[in-house]
Chains A and B, each alone.
Chain A
Amino acid sequence: MELSRLLRHGDRALILAQRLLEQITHAPEIEEDMALANLALDLLGQARVLYTLAGEVEGGGHDEDHFAYWRDAAEFTNPVLVEQPNTDFAHVIVRQYLHDEFALAFWQAAGWDVAAKAVKETTYHRRHSRAWLVRLGDGTPESHRRAQAALDTLWPYVDELFAGADQLRPAWDVAVAATLAEATLAVPQMLPAEPIHEHLESILAELQVTARAHPGATW
């Protein structure tokens, strides 16, 4: 297990979990608030396992909290896609679906101990985000417009999602194209964006403030 890979995917799960948690109480219905919290909880669990493994591989005595709370933005290596703002519910769902389709392929190929569990969890997530995307895309003119706008905004970050995992891309393209067709959405034709971690500082400020204000605090 490569340290850089463990950290990239630990960061992916942690930062997406944080974005989802920001959305709670803003979902269109209370059941969806719970769904988003559940997705975040699973992602947080995956991040914890990956950070703990990273600590073992690194051999420097660092635990999961070190990686989550005591690294600065420059040290995070999450895909830029997962830190994109919630903006509206369509953005939340499009970001989640593009991520879930990637994450499922990633876990299926990972060959790590935690993977079997993560595959089950991610399969469930993808079913949810996919169903919502089809519902929004193939819904009212307004939901369709918003879903397409979110897709166009987030698509430029897809390339970077596959950094170090290019072999997963062809199957992802096929799966996503099928979903977008069902959702009556157009596959965007945009150039990749510069992978700049524009939002990471503000996400981490909120995520880390309590741990840093009270170092070593326990319940």
Chain B
Amino acid sequence: MNASETIHDAAGLRRAVHEVPDPELPHVTIGDLGIVRSVTVDGGTATIVLTPTYTGCPATEQIADDVTAAVRSAGYTPEIRTVLTPAWSSDWITPRGRKRLAVAGIAPPGQFVACPRCGSQLVRSVSEFGSTACKSMYTCQSCREPFERFKPI
């Protein structure tokens, strides 16, 4: 690919990669989740370093495919690398990511658990595991609704 086909500059590419939605939590982006470790450009090649949330997360390969597509459509040749160290932490979820999780009905990880619907902290843990590797289940004692919480890990 020659330089004239490049439609984004490096900053635009970085934004495009960060804006790739998570396949299992489409209301947040992989940038929000803190999965993107780095985006570097060398000529026409863009190297993207990703850290999976869990070793067995089935979305990992889909994310790599989606990032590959985003990099290609930005006009770069993608090189995707996965690093496991340092291990991903839910502390890496951005403030915007936390807000978006709450809006989607998923309590963000953190010191306190509050119902994402009514805000009550009168909640009960139902299961430390949920429908995806990254979530656990709660019910709210105030509004009686069940909800999921992003596991703090």
Residues of A with Cβ closer than 8 Å to B?
A: 31-32, 34-35, 37-39, 41-46, 48-49, 113-114, 116-121, 124, 127-128
Instruction: Count how many pairs of residues, one from A and one from B, have CB atoms less than 8 Å apart in the complex.
Output: 69
State how many angstroms separate the Cβ of B20 from the closest Cβ of chain A: 21
For A117, give its contact among B87, B127, B129, B151 (CB under 8 Å).
B87
Per DSSP, are chain A's interface residues mostly helix, strand or loop, or mixed? helix
Contacts of B137 in A (CB 8 A): 31
Scoring B residues 27 to 56 as 1 if CB is less than 8 Å from chain A, else 0, what string do you get? Answer: 000000000000000000000000010111
For A121, give its contact among B55, B83, B126, B127 (CB under 8 Å).
B55
Within residues 80 to 133 of chain B, which ones have a CB less than 8 A from any CB in chain A? 83-89, 126-131, 133
Residues of B with Cβ closer than 8 Å to A?
A: 52, 54-58, 83-89, 126-131, 133, 137, 151, 153
Judge whether B127 and A116 touch: CB under 8 Å.
Answer: no
Closest to A43 in B: B56
Judge whether B130 and A42 touch: CB under 8 Å.
Answer: no
State how many angstroms separate the Cβ of B91 from the closest Cβ of chain A: 12
Closest to A39 in B: B129
Judge whether A44 and B56 touch: CB under 8 Å.
Answer: yes
Judge whether B129 and A45 touch: CB under 8 Å.
Answer: no
